[in-house]
Structure 1
Amino acid sequence: MFERFTRDARDAVTGAVAQARAAGAGAVTEEHLLLSLLDGGALRPLGVDGTAVAAGLAAARRRGGMSRADEEALAGLGIDLSEIVSRIEETHGAGALAAPAPRRRGVAASLREVLGRREPENRHIRFTQGAKKTLEQSLRVALGRKDRRIGALHLLLALISRPGPVSEVLADHGVTYSTVETGLAA
């Protein structure tokens, strides 16, 4: 499948790995793919403020990745998610509901910690199931449009088509499937 990726799409995938490493994440997520697309300028032609999108992603991460639909469902049950987040952060610190830091396994990792050695930059970082599905969806999007190659905007369309905090944050900033398709046509 990766032989179909254009240079900008390949850069987005490798950039997502770099984003995950920089964040200290144990895996590449859909959020890392979007942050990489932002860094690569894929949303610039759409007039999207990358800083605001990144802030929206950080807010979703702070809520433990719950979407507003999740928050509304909980509110319907009389549960105030923002109150729960505030109380957890009072006890455990800011960002306590964000994804946990990757766990290091084995004696060798413990020795590296004790000796103060860093992990090698080329260590393998896995992709989450959601990130893998996004890459698969980008192929489906390209095939559905009868495009021979998968570009960064195909990745963006795939991110938008998958429900969750990433597509919700994009929608909040006016990035919809139709606006991105218009960008693809240009």
Structure 2
Amino acid sequence: MFERFTADARAVVVTAQTDARSMHHEHIGTEHVLLALLADPDGAVARSTGLDAETVRADILERIGGHTQDGPVLSEADAEDAAALKAIGIDLAAVREAIEANFGAGALKLPRPAKKKGLFGKFSASSGHIPFTNRNKKVLELSLREAIRLKQKFIAPEHIMLGLLREGKGLAALIMADRGIDFDRLKADMERSVSLEDQPR
């Protein structure tokens, strides 16, 4: 299937992995693909949705937590826990800073469990591999189906967005719905955009 991906569509997959890694997430979800689709502010997805990558990144961090260049961003539940601790005089941020000052950055992180041996041997964290969620694998499969439905022999970023819309249940769909995106209009925009392409990019 990946041989059908255009250079731009392959860049979306690579950028999704980079975004997931930058937020210290251990999976590549639909939210990371949406973020990658918005990386080009002049691209069809950004133009049609009116969304920008930074807004969506903030939505992701607010919903599932992660890290930014300024440090950890707490999920809503973790933020509530931190507020409860602060109410009784415990400043979680100050405790974290003190521990990391004494024991080094990342001292509070639990070690990753060892991966089981599989067909290709033991997983290595240094390999940089972050797995796609099953839902995201489905999105990529649906992007192929969308290309076939439109009688196109390539998969462009617009097809990936069509796959996201068709799957419709991931965090990306939830973020778009919360931002007031009209899914039917976006689908029509993506179909129109991809039909105008003389050659895949």
TM class by shorter chain equals 0.5 to 0.7
Looking at structure 2, the residues matched to 163 and 20 of structure 1 have their Cα atoms a distance apart, in angstroms, of 19
Say which of 78, 81, 85 aligns to 1:88: 81
CA 1:167–1:103 in structure 2 vs 1: closer, same or farther (change >3 Å)? Answer: farther
Q: Aligned residue for 1:35? A: 35
Q: Aligned residue for 1:5? A: 5
Q: TM-score, normalised by structure 2?
A: 0.61
Q: Rg: which structure is higher?
A: 2
Q: Aligned residue for 2:160? A: 155
Q: Aligned residue for 1:179? A: 186
Number of matched residues? 147
Looking at structure 2, the residues matched to 40 and 30 of structure 1 have their Cα atoms a distance apart, in angstroms, of 17
Show the 5 A alignment for 1:1-186: 1-41=1-41, 42=43, 43-46=45-48, 48-50=50-52, 51-61=54-64, 87-91=80-84, 103-106=111-114, 120=126, 122-161=127-166, 162-171=168-177, 172-186=179-193
State the AA in 1 paired with 2:47: P
Higher relative contact order (CA 8 A, sep 6+): 1
> Are 2:135 and 2:170, in contact at CA under 8 Å, matched by a contact in 1?
no
> Are 2:143 and 2:160, in contact at CA under 8 Å, matched by a contact in 1?
yes
Mind listing any 5+ residue stretches in structure 1 that lack a counterpart? 63-81, 95-100, 107-118
Greater fraction of residues in helix:
1
Looking at structure 1, the residues matched to 83 and 17 of structure 2 have their Cα atoms a distance apart, in angstroms, of 32
Identity %: 29
CA 1:58–1:24 in structure 2 vs 1: closer, same or farther (change >3 Å)? Answer: closer
| Superposition CA RMSD, Å | 2.8
Looking at structure 2, the residues matched to 2 and 134 of structure 1 have their Cα atoms a distance apart, in angstroms, of 13
Looking at structure 2, the residues matched to 148 and 61 of structure 1 have their Cα atoms a distance apart, in angstroms, of 36
CA 1:23–1:147 in structure 2 vs 1: closer, same or farther (change >3 Å)? Answer: same
State the AA in 1 paired with 2:175: V
Mind listing any 5+ residue stretches in structure 2 that lack a counterpart? 66-75, 86-91, 94-108, 115-124, 194-201
CA 1:9–1:102 in structure 2 vs 1: closer, same or farther (change >3 Å)? Answer: farther
Q: TM-score, normalised by structure 1?
A: 0.66
Looking at structure 2, the residues matched to 125 and 87 of structure 1 have their Cα atoms a distance apart, in angstroms, of 29
CA 1:133–1:91 in structure 2 vs 1: closer, same or farther (change >3 Å)? Answer: farther
Compute the displacement of 1:132 (Å): 0.7
